[in-house]
Structure 1
Amino acid sequence: MILFDPLDPPPGAWPAGCDSRAYIEGIARAGVGAMIPNVATRWMALRSGARVYPVTINEGGVGGSYVCLPHSAYILYARAELDIVDTGWLRPLLRAMIAAADRLLRWGKINRVVHVDNWMLSTNLHGDWQGDDLPAIRAFLAARFPTHAIAVRSVDGWSSPGLLDAAREDGWRLLASRQIWVTGDLETQWRARRNTGHDFRLLRRSGLAIDEFAVMTEADAARTAELYHLLYVGKYSPLNPIFSPDWILMTWREGILRYRGARDARGTLLAVTGALVRGDVLTPPIVGYDTARPRREGLYRIATLLFTSMAHEQGIRLNGSAGAAQFKRNRGATGVIEYTAVADGHLPWRRRAVLGLMQAALDRLAVPLMRRRGL
């Protein structure tokens, strides 16, 4: 097992046909801050057998996107969600609980963490990784980083069941993170839906032209980044990763993401998506549209149609990530609890205790709330 700097790899570090190499090297060459401005982390690569995983290393700082920082995911994002989601009479209680958890997680140094297979996306896909090497990874990284928790984000029983089972069997804590919306058979669960038919008719009547981005210009990349920012950062949360035009262009050029957009008669890009496929699952890290346009134009519906139809055309499954629960249910998606798997056996007792309390609170309070209210 080798942990290495992608810009200075030892001989033989990269196996032939490594599907993560282009992304890891692309981020390393430009620098994390240039690619994803609201992320600060040390970017490394971990060779384990025939696989190479992107690794992020954080030393405990607070603030910035949740893709590398558990405190942002569980405290800052949850606090912001309280102002958006209708939690009824529970809101004051939840606010007080989040405030208490904030102090506890800071004391427990929750952000001193090494993430494995972290693509720094809202939803990481793990492909065919079954977790057979998790015990070796845990032992190796715990020896190398004895004061850091070891974590794997975006683990669930639908898109990564083998990895979830392997983490459980190796004693990793499973911290519930959110409810994601997934569709296994798009032909029967999505295409046959009345709402899906309405979405296709909306697209046809809109007069918008579909662009498959055989060529992507710098202006296209800038507009794609802008549309994503309008939705995911401006409308949703600044804790979502902010992808730069350089990141968009790199992921298009290397074929890491497949982009599809909708343009008006003047050629202006109004809706766009960028989809990642690993194994037999597609997820859309990039979804955006011009939020200043009238709601009746249905640009969000068109943007989601762009990536869902991609998965349908390829005959693969769709991990639609979190959010817009009712919208996704109306189009055939079902909810699955997603976890962050954390190895903490090498940490001091107080930090293990904090993570244990956190796990219990999430299992007993957060998960039932997610399921009951469709969060």
Structure 2
Amino acid sequence: MKAIFDERQWRHDPRHFMANGKVLPSPEQPARIARLIEGARAAGCEMQAPDDAGMGPLAAVHSPEYLSFLQTIYTRWQRIDGAGDEVIPNIHPANRTDSYPRSAVGQAGYHQADTACPIGEGTWEAAYWSAQVAITGADLLASGARAAYALSRPPGHHAFGDLAGGFCFLNNSGIAAKRLRARGLSPAILDVDVHHGNGTQGIFYDRDDVLTVSLHADPARFYPFFWGHAEERGTGRGLGYNLNLPLPRGTDDEGFLRALDTALARISAFGADVVVVALGLDAYEGDPFKGFAVTTPGFSRIGAAIAGLGLPTLFVQEGGYLCDELGHNLTAVLTGFEGA
């Protein structure tokens, strides 16, 4: 299996994270990259750099207004007298139809959903190449590869078409799915991160040409709180093309795999001919977010179950935070898939 990564992804180095009113170091550290590379290599992956497909595939998912904001906001922020080192919002509109301010502070509030997505000097460059990694993975599948692993970091599944959030800036899995759709394929996105892929859902919620399925901790008491409930099924042409499977906190291997069977059956019913797996490894029992209790052998079973679809599969890295087993869990998923 090919694994794709670009060294410029190291450049995003967030320092700010707020949880329960307390400012903490961000869990989305560059050190995740080293653990994930080790895990991919242990699975026998051959590493390669991405191609540069330009802005077109990004603009197929994200508004030009938002892309312009991401490209320029750090420089504009530094012109503010006394500004901090990172772009962090302190005010938000009540809804997306409120007026669009000229102020950098106001635009930060409009385009950043929370304080978990600070924008620093290297954020745009890292996010751009993280997306190109996913695009290259999609192109490998469109060219006949059975599977590929995109080490996309920063992650992407909390990013909407014009809104960053939850460590995410560009929706890498969504961009990859749109790329595959443009190649005439019928993609399903399967999100196995412990957090609901709210940005991915939002991007495709009114579409019937991309199926979105997410297994995640019940958002009634878990981030992202406002999205990911079972009754969210899509709207308009997309009604019935979104499936949320919220699970109780502490769900173990068996509970997760039962829900995964339901997810895979829906993908088969959709008639997908390619699968984009939004691969969160934070369902692990020892992950800092402590949402689920999936074990390392459980991740191997997850990979094997996904392989049972018999479809070309792109694994796009989402969550999974610093713990000793992070790389081992990636190895387990990829070898479980390859060995099935």
User: TM bucket by the smaller chain?
Assistant: under 0.3
More helix as a share of residues = 1
Q: Which has the larger radius of gyration?
A: 1
TM-score for the superposition, normalised by structure 2: 0.28
Greater relative contact order structure (CA < 8 Å, 6+ sep): 1
